[in-house]
Amino acid sequence: MAHVCIHWFRKGLRLHDNPALMAALKDCKELYPVFILDPYLHHAQVGINRQRFLIGALKDLDCSLRKLNSRLFVLRGKPEDVFPKLFNRWNVTKLTYEYDTEPYSLRRDEKVASLAKEHGVDVIYKISHTLYNIERIIEENNGKPPLTYKRLQAIVQNLGPPKKPIPAPTLENMRDVKTPGSQKYEDKYRIPTLEELRLDSQFLGEELFPGGEQEALRRLDEHMKRTGWVCSFEKPQTSPNSLSPSTTVLSPYITFGCLSVRTFWWRLTEVYRGRKHSDPPVSLHGQLLWREFFYTCSVGIPNFNKMNENPVCTKVDWDTNQKYLAAWREARTGFPFIDAIMTQLRQEGWIHHLARHAVACFLTRGDLWISWEEGQKVFEDLLLDGDWALNAGNWQWLSASAFFHQFFRVYSPIAFGKKTDKNGDYIKKYLPLLKKFPPEYIYEPWKAPRSVQQAAGCIVGKDYPHPIVQHEQVSKKNIQRMKEAYAKRSSDNNESPIKKQGVKRKAPSVIEMLQKKSRKE
Ligand code: FAD
């Protein structure tokens, strides 16, 4: 039977290495590539930079599909409301999509899959957002997520290299496939503008990282040409405060799936071949394995984005302090290094990994003693690469709530940035107000004599805030509070269910777990 098929794009906004799209084209007479603007995911609180990236990625996808005599259909609404109408309107017989491990996505997909069944529509999903099938990794570790990077490495070594990416469909693959696209449809299903999404684009800065698969592949090519740089890449040696990024900034493209992580992996393998190169955890392959590590944790650990009911997360008596939180978010802490990073984040939507370290430590265990869950929300809105699993995992790491336990190692909001930028050029770029301060005061303008502040045209307390806390004092106090949280954890928590010895068994798949849960409900 020749199918009428919907391929549902969510993440995976690309044609290359898209096995679910290829599955859609098999025995297909009509193809409807669909993207749904879901109010749960694409609401007005999501930062405008991120929305702009998405719109760019959709335009690029539409353009590539048109080259294959197809197009993208963009709809709005809850997927479970939208699909039944589409199934009927287009007489659909097959639905394909990329598997997504986020809890919201799993619930959504379960609902849509069961609606499809009711409408007699076959459902096919494929894994292509991660290097491996995450459930296989968990299964291989006796049904538990590996809690250390070393353990993950050992498991993936057993599994062998990730699958090779598959090429994008060609006109030949589309020979017998039509996408009905009348004039009526042209307008009805077009990609909205930012204004139509009620976003005010007048405050948008320059688009440094335009969304889309073509841009992703172009950037990947550029990086891969720098063979020396790729082979000697060591993450700790890259700088948080260089004036242009010292790492790849492929993260937004990977998050939205404009770039397949397997394509990235295998391109790196080609560059490494026959050359001396760095290794995980610090190499670029190593970075992709960090991603896999946090994805595995996010699938295997319940309530991964929360402190409570999350078995690996240390319970800490974080303060609620709206004033401190707002100062951090709005770059008004009075520490220029922290405020410059938060300004870059808001303006450009990307900051270096070690810059994320600095501001995450500052918000949580280092200085402000505010919950990592609050920081996670701010990052989710402002980062172009905001990713449920990676954001939650890294925030737990930085706040020493899970994975990393050396809470006594606190980043100084003054000394850390100086290591790679003595002159404070990064601060001058993002906080031009401070640009006339001499290097010896740029990280601590409050220490500058009044005459220096006057000469710099910026009076601390008037034009730029005083430091919100005394770092030396609060960080000592906070280390003490962390010590207490850890002591409490080891007395309460010896029986943490995640730590119990696992027995070798097949892990239930996430879908099976959800099915079991919904049967119970
Ligand atoms: P590169 O160094 O070029 O690395 C290549 C790719 O490897 C990245 O694009 C990313 O996909 C992956 N990667 C690198 N570092 C990590 C890491 N530590 N954890 C997981 N994957 C990694 N990354 C996100 O993609 N989304 C997030 O929401 C996110 N939130 C974070 C929150 C905090 C508090 C911290 C400390 C880190 C967070 N990271 C997040 C991880 C990391 O900072 C970014 O992936 C990285 O800085 C992206 O820049 P890049 O593409 O130049 O990385």
Same domain, 38 and 53: yes
Instruction: Say yes or no: CB of residue 395 within 6 Å of ligand 1.
Output: yes
Q: How many domains does the chain have?
A: 3
Instruction: Say yes or no: CB of residue 383 within 6 Å of ligand 1.
Output: yes
Q: Whose CA is nearest to atom 32 of ligand 1?
A: 391
Same domain, 397 and 295: no
pLDDT at 292: 98
291 C-alpha to center of ligand 1: Å?
A: 7
> Mind listing the pLDDT tens digit for each residue in 163-222?
999 999 999 999 999 999 766 788 899 999 988 887 777 778 899 999 999 999 999 999
Same domain, 456 and 359: yes
Q: Whose CA is nearest to atom 46 of ligand 1?
A: 353
Confirm whether 181 is domain-assigned: no
Q: Report how far residue 154's alpha carbon sits from residue 146's, in angstroms, rounded to the nearest whole number.
A: 10
Same domain, 243 and 288: yes
Confirm whether 307 is domain-assigned: no
Domain with 151, as residue range(s), is 130-171+213-300
- Listed residues 428, 449, 471: the one ending a domain: 471
CATH label of the domain that carries residue 351 = 1.10.579.10
Confirm whether 518 is domain-assigned: no
CATH label of the domain that carries residue 61 = 3.40.50.620
pLDDT at 493: 64
- Listed residues 129, 158, 185: the one ending a domain: 129
Same domain, 275 and 332: no
pLDDT at 183: 66
Confirm whether 195 is domain-assigned: no
386 C-alpha to center of ligand 1: Å?
A: 9
pLDDT at 426: 98
C-beta separation of 453 from 459 below 8 A: yes
451 C-alpha to center of ligand 1: Å?
A: 42
Sign of the dihedral defined by the CA atoms of residues 476, 482, 487, 488, in that order: positive
Same domain, 13 and 104: yes
CATH label of the domain that carries residue 147 = 1.25.40.80
Q: Which residues pair with 98 in a beta bridge?
A: 126
Q: Whose CA is nearest to atom 10 of ligand 1?
A: 251
C-beta separation of 132 from 159 below 8 A: yes
State the 10-residue block means of pLDDT for the chain, 521 residues long: 95 98 97 95 84 97 97 96 98 98 98 98 98 98 97 97 98 95 80 85 88 98 98 97 97 98 98 98 98 98 98 97 98 98 97 98 98 98 97 98 97 98 98 98 98 98 98 98 95 59 44 46 36
Confirm whether 255 is domain-assigned: yes
Residue among 287, 365, 373 whose CB has most ligand 1 atoms within 8 A, to mutate: 287
Same domain, 136 and 275: yes
Confirm whether 427 is domain-assigned: yes
Same domain, 71 and 137: no
Same domain, 36 and 148: no
Q: Report how far residue 57's alpha carbon sits from residue 216's, in angstroms, rounded to the nearest whole number.
A: 10
Same domain, 351 and 457: yes
Confirm whether 41 is domain-assigned: yes
Same domain, 272 and 375: no
Task: Determine the 3-state secondary structure of 4 from DSSP.
Answer: strand
pTM assigned to the model: 0.94
Instruction: Say yes or no: CB of residue 254 within 6 Å of ligand 1.
Output: yes
Confirm whether 201 is domain-assigned: no
Same domain, 37 and 77: yes
CA distances from 468 to 328, 335, 426 (A): 9, 8, 21
- Listed residues 449, 471, 493: the one ending a domain: 471
Instruction: Say yes or no: CB of residue 360 within 6 Å of ligand 1.
Output: yes
